[in-house]
Amino acid sequence: MITIRNLHKSYGKHQILKDLHIDFLPGKVYGIVGANGAGKTTFFRCLAGMEKYDGHITADLQPLKDHIGYLPSEIFFLPKITGKEYLALLMEARNKKPQNLNKQNIFDLPLDQYVSSYSTGMKKKLGILGVLLQNNHIYILDEPYNGLDFQSSLFLTDIIHRLRSKDRTVILSSHIFGSLAETCDSITLLSNGKFSVFANKESFPELQRQITGELLHKNLNDIFPL
């Protein structure tokens, strides 16, 4: 279990996250939604131990960062590194060694090629495969569906369901609400640095209407004033 209380994060005088409270349980999938700049990535980085913050993050697993598989929305790859070498680095970070990458290469990636030759979707698949091979207890996936084709998106949804069945905790963001609705047990809206709405499955349609209505009203009325 992860417990977050009174979480604040600022860059200088600019406050990004404001007094966040939330709990994450094993065997659950949690969605975080919000407009660009709402603070989703900053929240994920605080949770993954990559940012300093004010407040409290406590967990049953310690140190927490050693049990988290974090997939950023934009993955950094070293120059002149192959897919196989990238996976080996991620596994070494968990004191693991590759066993049979040919069998574990579920996305059929050309692992002997330089990652720089990969397409955007292939790079995303490599990042997903890396955090899966680490066999983490907690997965933070920031926009994991971006760049994936339709078939790979379905595959990722199945992977998330399997992680839940293995009692893992999955926390993800996506601008594709349908993907969240298919995978999540609950969805939380992050707006202006605060968690403003907590929705369970029964409330997903209402949350989607609320988010869509606010965005369309705000953006389209600037172009087509009524």
How does pLDDT run across 19-51, given as a tens digit for each residue?
Answer: 999 999 999 999 999 888 889 999 999 999 999
Q: Say whether pLDDT at 226 is over 70.
A: no
Q: Is the model's pLDDT at 197 over the cut of 60?
A: yes
Contact 119, 77 (CB under 8 A): no
Average pLDDT over residues 63-84: 93
User: Which range among 58-62, 110-114, 156-160 shows the weakest confidence by mean pLDDT?
Assistant: 58-62
Mean pLDDT (whole number) for 6-24: 93
Instruction: Give the pLDDT of residue 225.
Output: 57
Q: For position 73, what pLDDT does the model report?
A: 92
Structure tokens at 53: 């913050």
The per-residue DSSP string of 55-109 comes to: EEEEESSSSGGGGEEEE-SS----TT-BHHHHHHHHHHTTT---S-HHHH-TT--
Residue carrying structure tokens 């996506």: 174
Distance CA 183, CA 170 (A): 10
Which pLDDT value is given to residue 68?
95
66, pLDDT greater than 70: yes
How much is the pLDDT for 45? 96
Q: Which residues make beta-bridge pairs with 56?
A: 5
Q: Is the pLDDT of residue 113 over 60?
A: yes
Element (DSSP H or E) covering residue 23? strand 14-24
Closest-CA residue to 122 (of 88, 92, 148, 155): 148
Q: Can you give the pLDDT at residue 47? A: 95
Q: What is the pLDDT of residue 132?
A: 95
Report how far residue 30's alpha carbon sits from residue 200's, in angstroms, rounded to the nearest whole number.
10
Mean pLDDT over 78-84 rounds to 93
* The pLDDT of residue 81: 96
Please give the pLDDT value at position 216. Answer: 54
The CATH class, in words, for 2-78+140-223 is alpha beta
pLDDT reading at 220 higher than 80: no
Question: How many angstroms separate the Cα of 156 from the Cα of each of 12, 84, 144, 152?
Answer: 37, 20, 8, 6
Q: What is the mean pLDDT of residues 142-167?
A: 95
Binned at pLDDT 50, 70 and 90, residue 97 comes out as confident
If we measure between CA atoms, which residue out of 205, 157, 146 comes closest to residue 179? 157
Q: What is the mean pLDDT of residues 204-221?
A: 70
More confident residue, 219 or 95: 95
pTM greater than 0.95 (yes/no): no
What per-residue confidence (pLDDT) applies to 223? 58
pLDDT at 115 over 60: yes
